[in-house]
Amino acid sequence: MRRLRWYWGALVLACVVLLAGLFVFFGSESKLGQPQPRQGPPGTGPLTVVAMGDSTVSGEGAGQYTATTNGQGGNWCHRSPNAFVDKIAIPGITAHVNLGCSGAPAEQVALGDVKQWTEPSQAQQLAALVKDHRVAAVVIAVGANDEPKFSNQVTDCFKAWFNVGGPPCSTALKQTWQSKVDAMVPKVATAVSDVKKVLASAGYVPADYQLILQSYAAPIGPDLPEDLRSLNGCPFRVEDLRWISQTGIGVLSAGLKSAAQQTGARFLDLAKAGVKHEACSGGANPATEWFTRLTLQLADLGQADRAGHALQESFHPNAAGHAAIANCLTEFIAARDGNASCLAGADGKLHAAPEVVAR
């Protein structure tokens, strides 16, 4: 009988040891036969956040542009070390890469032969980057330079301010803006899809990284001092500023959200991000503003190759604006899922307010 007891005891002990070995091999929370999810992006190199897109991304307006993107060899991408991508602070992410280029259309972000200020496809640049970087997040802001041609609309509104007897620029925009945004959406969706293709080709699966499409903030609002509604700051009609900030930016954001939904990207809405911090809103105290006023680089006017870019920084997020956006993006990336809007909190900073999904 003792021998039998010993036999069963030894058998039970052997089973316990075997099961313990299985738990060590497969993981205590894994089912037998199912591999553990890998930890983070594949490949080698530093964990990286990448920004792609146009002037909102590159840092146009934030100053201190890198020499190679400040006119050298015809490159006017205007990348700034003050751009939001360099200010994002996520534990574990040690590299910040800015592929954005001022004026870039969606087709230059996508795969293809379209160039912007001498630079090739940003998606192709990303393909080269993933060879020695592990990409944890990609933030994209693009579309305004496609059919909406936002900078052209700002120019038209500037001309309308001069033309006192003529109609406001918003009169024409009200008739065409929605169709322009609708035509933009598939181009943005293609660009986002191409970014996904590049990462998939490098062995990434959706769980390895976050893909974020963000919208634009209104750089100017209707509530500004009358003395600054001039060449001293923001020469626009009140009715035009009201339409842009209250309607135009919202329609543009809705179109970009549609592109995000089509491609499975997370969406970060910046439509209200600049409220009370727009260009000229600070009056005599421009330090409170997150966007540049009408900005003219006088030194560039005397150089033929730079004169055409002397106004390029106007009405873009400044260094303070990029820092505010970075705070919102840091929270958004840390949340890991869902959509959100960048809204000012009681502390005066921008925070990522999660989207409330109706049931």
- For the chain, the 3-state helix, strand and coil shares in percent, each to the nearest 5, are 45, 10, 45
Nearest CA among 333, 314, 211, 331 for reference residue 261:
211
Sign of the torsion formed by the C-alpha atoms of 334, 340, 344 and 345: negative
185-188's contacts with Cβ under 8 Å and 24+ in sequence apart are 185/143, 185/255, 185/256, 185/258, 185/259, 185/262, 186/259, 187/105, 187/106, 187/107, 187/110, 187/143, 187/146, 187/147, 188/106, 188/142, 188/143, 188/146, 188/213, 188/255, 188/256, 188/259
Strand order in the sheet with 210-214: 95-98, 47-53, 134-141, 210-214, 266-269, 340-344, 350-354
Q: What is the residue whose two structure tokens read 């600049």?
A: 274
- Dist. CA 275–CA 292, nearest whole Å: 14
Q: Coil, strand or helix: which one is 26?
A: helix
- Pick the catalytic residue from 55, 102, 245, 314: 55
- Dist. CA 348–CA 225, nearest whole Å: 21
- Pick the catalytic residue from 133, 277, 316, 351: 316
Rg of the Cα atoms in the chain: 25
Is 201 part of the annotated catalytic residue set?
no
Is 55 part of the annotated catalytic residue set?
yes
List residues bridging with 349 in a β-sheet.
Answer: none
What amino acid positions are annotated as catalytic residues? Answer: 55, 316
